[in-house]
Structure 1
Amino acid sequence: MTNTFLNIDKVTKSYGAVRVLNETDIAVQQGEFLVLVGPSGCGKSTLLNMIAGLEAITSGEVSINGRVVNGVPPADRNIAMVFQSYALYPNMTVRGNISFSMEMHKVPKPEREAKIAQVAELLQITHLLDRKPGQLSGGQRQRVAMGRALTRDPDVFLFDEPLSNLDAKLRVDMRTEIKKLHQKLGTTIVYVTHDQVEALTLSTRIAVMYGGDVQQLGTPDEVYHNPANMFVAGFMGSPAMNLFPAEIVSLNGGIGVKVTTAGGYITLPFPHGAAMESDIGREIVLGVRPESMTDPESADHDSPCLEHVDLPVELVETTGADSFVTILLGGKECIGRFRAKSAATEGQLTHVTFDMSRAVAFDPKTELRLA
């Protein structure tokens, strides 16, 4: 790929006979924000550590800015890494922590001081420069860790779950700060997280990983709306995409899907099913996002395919801004995202609007996307 800044080419990792990362190809352009996301043990941190030089590559090649770095020590890769543990020196002030790497590289004092002032202003920690890490909050410590990395002017920033030790509100605040930082600096970032909301909000592209493989690589919009398989569909999004069994049927001269409900069955149009006309009677897994299964008032009225159905409600959970309404479809508990003040009531029928233009179909055997 032209203009590739960080190239991961057929990279694998094995520990003895156990392979933890299968052959992986990712090309990252300069200035991109790539997020590696997936559950624990999927290989994302292993891949990050191989880019950093903290883990040896079993096979394949990693190059940064046109230079192959297999076997190059971490200190010589011109990368900067931010860990979830902050890794600050407790006996040094914030100023000392930020300055330490520059001192090791014999950067002249006037240049060091100018860089510290610049980074501290960017991260809004100027007033903390003379404090020690023990006097700082978790969010402040993470800013200092980021400040130390920023003094390097690296080719690539590597973030390893930097927000996982913070409480929920602070995580949101720091997420915003990291996004702003990327917009200001335009640096190349590879960021590891298990939090799919973090992945969707921060990235320019996402690599969804599971079982040592990249399941899908794409923009947040592609990964969210056009998942490549059932794992990606179920992992990305909060609440996750509803996945339930359905049957392909003929409907009004086109294709529809028949779904069992608590009270019988419903038939919904399926506008993406034109290529499935020969599959009448085929069992599929239908995927519908919670916001595409909502009350009539909240539906996207610009959609070309809205279908209104009355269905019995199993459970209503109010979150303040929304109500999550549980409805049985295909024998599965499925969640619709309704307005907080919708009329949905447990044990009663309610009006449900499906945006079938956003529905997707999967093969129940291979779990791959069909349409």
Structure 2
Amino acid sequence: MGFLDINNAVKAYGAVEVLHQVDISVEEGEFLVLVGPSGCGKSTLLNMIAGLESVTKGTISIKDRVINDVHPSKRNIAMVFQSYALYPNMTVGQNITFGLEMHGTPKPERQAKLADVAKLLQIDHLLDRKPGQLSGGQRQRVAMGRALVRDPDVFLFDEPLSNLDAKLRVDMRTEIKKLHQRLKRTIVYVTHDQIEAMTLSTRIAVMNKGYIQQLGTPKEIYDTPANLFVASFMGSPSMNLIPAVLVADGDQIAARITGFDGQPLLLRLSQNDQTIRNYLDAQVILGIRPEALTDADGADRNARNLQVIRNQVTVTEPAGSDTFVTTVLGGKDCVARMRADADVHPGQPFDFTVNMDKAVIFDPKTEDRIAGRH
């Protein structure tokens, strides 16, 4: 049993089931991120934990106590909303301590907690201001302060950074990470931003169409995606997914793909077990992350299975620290990540280095991973 347990949780509106048998066990102090596209059910699941949505089937427990029928105010959870939900006529200090006042906390204790939280979030100079006088980032800190002052068992964050501009979002992401490292509290955090999910979480639940597609650490999700949805959703730029045929190449197995000119190219796999041999002469999808498709100088020095393929460059995109290079493999545009100073130009043939240790193979029918990066 975990600190927060979601057991076979189902949510239905009439005959329409929107969440299907969700099973997640969250340990104390974990930072779980629920990530997925709009409408995948992540906010519905968060609202079920909060008590804002009922549980149709299954149970949700905190510290071994089933909370399905417990009123939201009695669950000892604190929620930070996307909209901040601050009272415009109250000062920052009053907004932060309002919940404590409603629960009958004595004033000296309220003021002590307010001082601690304001110092932690560096908003002690804002306590007498109204929300309308604050920037978006400051309002977000106030909303977090209101949650922190409660000292809850679980913090719930519902896309808290989506209203902020790009730079502020990165800054606040760092602040939330620091806060978690300092407080070591249990957090469940909803976002559609996979960069947020990768950088903040200790574990990620990738969701789509009401199902948990994969639950794992950021490294597991990124390196070993369970299926084509996870492979394409997680990562920026996303994983290259190339149609291929598995063929025998001596004692080894290779993925045969087509290059820019339609001619076959062979890439030997690092795997050679029976699972992969069952797919000999069959169509598969070869998954290669952009950083595993690069130039010779940018390739991983520790890789055991580096291979070179010559193919034409179609587009180059300098991006500061990297250059992204597009080439056509298997009839699809594929992105390679290279060093900023890589000598590569559109229209030229180029020797791409492929790190096949990092290749992942998917079954195109089931869309599940069949080999790679265990």
TM-score (norm: length of structure 1): 0.98
How far apart are residue 317 of structure 1 and its match?
0.9
The aligned counterpart of 2:334 is 334
The aligned counterpart of 2:271 is 272
How far apart are residue 278 of structure 1 and its match?
4.2
For residues 366 and 28 of structure 1, the distance between their equivalents in structure 2, rounded to whole angstroms, comes to 29
How far apart are residue 101 of structure 1 and its match?
0.7
The aligned counterpart of 1:257 is 255
For residues 76 and 278 of structure 2, the distance between their equivalents in structure 1, rounded to whole angstroms, comes to 56
1:52-201 matched pairs, under 5 angstroms: 52-201=50-199
Q: Please give the root-mean-square deviation of Cα atoms over the aligned residues, in Å.
A: 0.8
176-185 vs 250-259, greater mean Cα deviation: 250-259
For residues 250 and 319 of structure 2, the distance between their equivalents in structure 1, rounded to whole angstroms, comes to 39
Native 8 Å contact 1:343 1:350 kept in 2: no
The aligned counterpart of 1:300 is 300
Q: Aligned AA for 2:289?
A: R
For residues 351 and 128 of structure 1, the distance between their equivalents in structure 2, rounded to whole angstroms, comes to 57
Native 8 Å contact 1:240 1:289 kept in 2: yes
Question: Which of 11, 14, 17 is matched with 2:15 structurally?
Answer: 17
State the SS of the aligned residue for 1:234. helix
State the SS of the aligned residue for 1:370. strand
210-219 vs 270-279, greater mean Cα deviation: 270-279
Q: Aligned AA for 2:77?
A: I
For residues 305 and 327 of structure 1, the distance between their equivalents in structure 2, rounded to whole angstroms, comes to 21
Q: Aligned AA for 1:125?
A: I
How far apart are residue 20 of structure 1 and its match?
0.5
For residues 291 and 116 of structure 2, the distance between their equivalents in structure 1, rounded to whole angstroms, comes to 43
Q: Aligned AA for 2:178?
A: K
**What 5-or-longer segments of structure 2 have no aligned partner?**
none
Native 8 Å contact 1:312 1:348 kept in 2: yes
Q: How many residues align?
A: 369
How far apart are residue 265 of structure 1 and its match?
1.9
For residues 279 and 104 of structure 1, the distance between their equivalents in structure 2, rounded to whole angstroms, comes to 63
Q: Aligned AA for 2:270?
A: P
Native 8 Å contact 1:322 1:337 kept in 2: yes
- 1:100-153: CA deviation from partner (whole Å, max 9, x where unpaired): 111111111111111011001111111111111111110110000000000111
Q: Aligned AA for 1:318?
A: P
State the SS of the aligned residue for 1:172. helix
For residues 192 and 42 of structure 2, the distance between their equivalents in structure 1, rounded to whole angstroms, comes to 9
For residues 122 and 242 of structure 1, the distance between their equivalents in structure 2, rounded to whole angstroms, comes to 42
The aligned counterpart of 1:353 is 353
The aligned counterpart of 1:325 is 325
TM-score (norm: length of structure 2): 0.97
For residues 192 and 255 of structure 1, the distance between their equivalents in structure 2, rounded to whole angstroms, comes to 41
Q: Aligned AA for 1:309?
A: I
105-114 vs 206-215, greater mean Cα deviation: 105-114
The aligned counterpart of 1:217 is 215
Q: Residues 103, 261 of structure 1: CA spacing in aligned structure 2 closer, same or farther, 3 A cutoff?
A: same
For residues 101 and 277 of structure 1, the distance between their equivalents in structure 2, rounded to whole angstroms, comes to 61
Identity %: 63
For residues 143 and 273 of structure 1, the distance between their equivalents in structure 2, rounded to whole angstroms, comes to 52
- 1:43-76: CA deviation from partner (whole Å, max 9, x where unpaired): 1000000000000111000001111001111000
Native 8 Å contact 1:61 1:68 kept in 2: yes
How far apart are residue 14 of structure 1 and its match?
0.6
State the SS of the aligned residue for 2:115. helix
Question: Which of 238, 241, 245 is matched with 2:239 structurally?
Answer: 241
Native 8 Å contact 1:255 1:274 kept in 2: no
The aligned counterpart of 2:28 is 30
For residues 280 and 228 of structure 2, the distance between their equivalents in structure 1, rounded to whole angstroms, comes to 22
Native 8 Å contact 1:256 1:273 kept in 2: no
State the SS of the aligned residue for 1:344. coil
How far apart are residue 176 of structure 1 and its match?
0.3
For residues 259 and 60 of structure 1, the distance between their equivalents in structure 2, rounded to whole angstroms, comes to 46
How far apart are residue 156 of structure 1 and its match?
0.3
State the SS of the aligned residue for 2:160. coil
